[in-house]
Amino acid sequence: MMIPAVDSFRALLASHPPYPGRYWIAYSGGLDSHVLLHLCAQARSQFPSIPEFRAIHIHHGLQPQANGWAEHCERTSRTLGIPFSLIAVDARAQAGESPEEAARRARYRAIRDQLSPGETVLTAQHVDDQAETLLLQLIRGAGLAGLAAMPRFARFAPGFLLRPLLGHTREELSRYASEHGLRWVDDPSNTDVGYDRNFMRHRVLPLLAQRWPSVSQSLARSAGHCAEALEQLENLSADLYQTALNGDGRSLSIARLKSYKPADQRLVLRHWLKTSGYRMPAAVVLERIRRELLPAAADRMPRVAWSEGEVRRYRDGLFVLPMLPSVDNSVSIAWDGASNLQLPGSNGELHVEPATPGLGIDAAAWHTGPIRVAFRQGGECCRLPHRAGSHSLKKLFQEAGIPPWLRERAPLVYIGDELAAIGEWWVTERFAASCGTPSVSLRWTRAPMAVAPSGGE
């Protein structure tokens, strides 16, 4: 197979146009991305109506030659008439992270941050990259999603990612580069077989190709079969997920999940975590969710945590939450009762707003004393309008189905030394507006977490 002619390349791009916006070319300066850059420049010169291209080079700062590579990339882009952006990143590996993963994470985060909605990133991965990815995923014991390797087209942040050279081999790209006299940079780390991908590229695949010359194409074809099967499974999991979803649109019904077979439960959990914006945890985490949370008694509130978040059970629901710092319940914060109040512990903000007369907090009572915000100590009680007797906050939260992780974070608003409001849910009898009187209401905008019920009175 040959590298596509410019009109064919343009047709491939046109099948996935950025809408609106531009194509961003991920340009490292190496052979593969230079071929991609050159093809884009050719397409632009022959078809001026094609959307704008812009090259983006990520300066990792990990090699002594990095500054020279950046200069080469900018010079080459300008020569080809393609606007150029240079982004410097911190690509140092975190604890437990490989250098390869750290550089990849930093690179994709930087590109994502440049993207406007609807724009498309073009990357230069090819058949041999696909084969390496599949073998690495097999060795890691990946599931079907990993074995599907790299899709040609996928959503990426607010836009999309397209790999237009995925059907071509490294040899074909090298031949194209030679025919067009392209000059590229060589990263010496690409020959370091201490990195898994380089070991696969320089040691394993050449050995396999001696016995099976078309091994890269065969492996890439297998990845395509896995991708097709994955798409079918994702359609199935989306249907199962919609059935298992509770009315809040975020939590999963445990009763409905328990009616599924174990394999279908795993499908739904994976789909749920993915659509909730979390990277997929290890299989052992999914099994803990299935085995520890689903069979737990209804009055229990177990949780399973991993590096990115946690899944909790409350009543008939599974809730996925980010890892949030605990709230210091000894804190008491003075508030002017007018400006937005930033709450500690990534706990969002408290706002005061005009309310429908007669609903919320009596506007005159709102400023009868100093206002402060505190958090539960335990044992708090209050009297509510139109309800007899005093009520403990614990009982009110239980009656309203407020999950425990929100109860401990709920801001309690005091006027003077008297409790006036519990979050945005209740106003106490002493401060409640009477019919027709001017009033204000509280709104608590919190960090992303499960939505609580609307509460009581």
Considering the domain architecture, whether residues 311 and 415 belong to the same structural domain is answered as no
Domain-located, residue 455: no
The domain tally of the chain equals: 3
Position 134 confidence tier, pLDDT thresholds 50, 70, 90: very high
Query: What distances in angstroms separate CA 168 from CA 1, 162, 163, 176, 346, one per listed residue?
Result: 7, 14, 11, 11, 48
The pLDDT score that the predictor gives to residue 340 is 93
The pLDDT score that the predictor gives to residue 446 is 77
Considering the domain architecture, whether residues 179 and 250 belong to the same structural domain is answered as no
- Burial class of residue 225 in the structure, from the number of CB atoms within 10 Å of its CB (0-12 exposed, 13-18 middle, 19+ buried): exposed
The pLDDT score that the predictor gives to residue 4 is 63
Position 2 confidence tier, pLDDT thresholds 50, 70, 90: low
Considering the domain architecture, whether residues 369 and 302 belong to the same structural domain is answered as no
Domain-located, residue 453: no
Domain-located, residue 391: yes
d(CA 256, CA 246): 10
Could you list the residue range(s) of the whole structural domain that residue 344 is in? 333-445
Stated pTM of the model: 0.67
Between residues 456 and 144, which one has the greater pLDDT?
144
The pLDDT score that the predictor gives to residue 18 is 83
The pLDDT score that the predictor gives to residue 390 is 93
Position 456 confidence tier, pLDDT thresholds 50, 70, 90: very low
> At 292, is the secondary structure helix, strand, or coil?
helix
Q: Which helix (H) or strand (E) holds 404?
A: helix 404-407
- Tens digits of residue pLDDT in 261-270: 999 999 999 9
Considering the domain architecture, whether residues 121 and 152 belong to the same structural domain is answered as yes
Domain end point (choices 261, 287, 322)? 322
Domain end point (choices 299, 322, 345)? 322
Rg (CA), the chain: 28
Average pLDDT over residues 18-47: 92
CATH code at position 132: 3.40.50.620
- Tens digits of residue pLDDT in 168-211: 999 999 999 999 999 999 988 889 998 899 999 999 999 999 99
Domain-located, residue 299: yes
d(CA 445, CA 427): 18
Domain end point (choices 273, 288, 322)? 322
Domain-located, residue 229: no
The pLDDT score that the predictor gives to residue 19 is 78
Domain-located, residue 232: no
Is residue 324 pLDDT above 80, yes or no?
no
Average pLDDT over residues 43-71: 89
Residue with tokens 């058949």: 127
- Burial class of residue 224 in the structure, from the number of CB atoms within 10 Å of its CB (0-12 exposed, 13-18 middle, 19+ buried): middle
Tell me the average pLDDT of the chain: 90
Considering the domain architecture, whether residues 91 and 165 belong to the same structural domain is answered as yes
The pLDDT score that the predictor gives to residue 308 is 83
Considering the domain architecture, whether residues 151 and 90 belong to the same structural domain is answered as yes
d(CA 455, CA 457): 7
Quick check: 215 and 206 in contact, CB under 8 A? no
- Tens digits of residue pLDDT in 277-293: 888 888 899 999 999 99
Domain-located, residue 314: yes
Average pLDDT over residues 432-442: 91
**Beta-bridge partner residues of 414:** 372, 419
Considering the domain architecture, whether residues 176 and 71 belong to the same structural domain is answered as yes
Residue burial 156-177, b: 16+ Cβ < 10 Å; e: rest: bbebbbbbbbbbbbbebbeebb
Average pLDDT over residues 63-83: 93
Considering the domain architecture, whether residues 279 and 394 belong to the same structural domain is answered as no
Domain-located, residue 456: no
Is residue 1 pLDDT above 70, yes or no?
no
Considering the domain architecture, whether residues 188 and 260 belong to the same structural domain is answered as no
The pLDDT score that the predictor gives to residue 138 is 94
d(CA 47, CA 34): 20
Quick check: 312 and 319 in contact, CB under 8 A? yes
- Tens digits of residue pLDDT in 122-132: 999 999 999 99
Is residue 322 pLDDT above 70, yes or no?
yes
Considering the domain architecture, whether residues 249 and 339 belong to the same structural domain is answered as no
d(CA 431, CA 248): 30
Considering the domain architecture, whether residues 197 and 263 belong to the same structural domain is answered as no
Quick check: 186 and 174 in contact, CB under 8 A? no
Is residue 345 pLDDT above 60, yes or no?
yes
Considering the domain architecture, whether residues 288 and 410 belong to the same structural domain is answered as no
Which two tokens mark 30? 């190496």
Average pLDDT over residues 62-70: 87
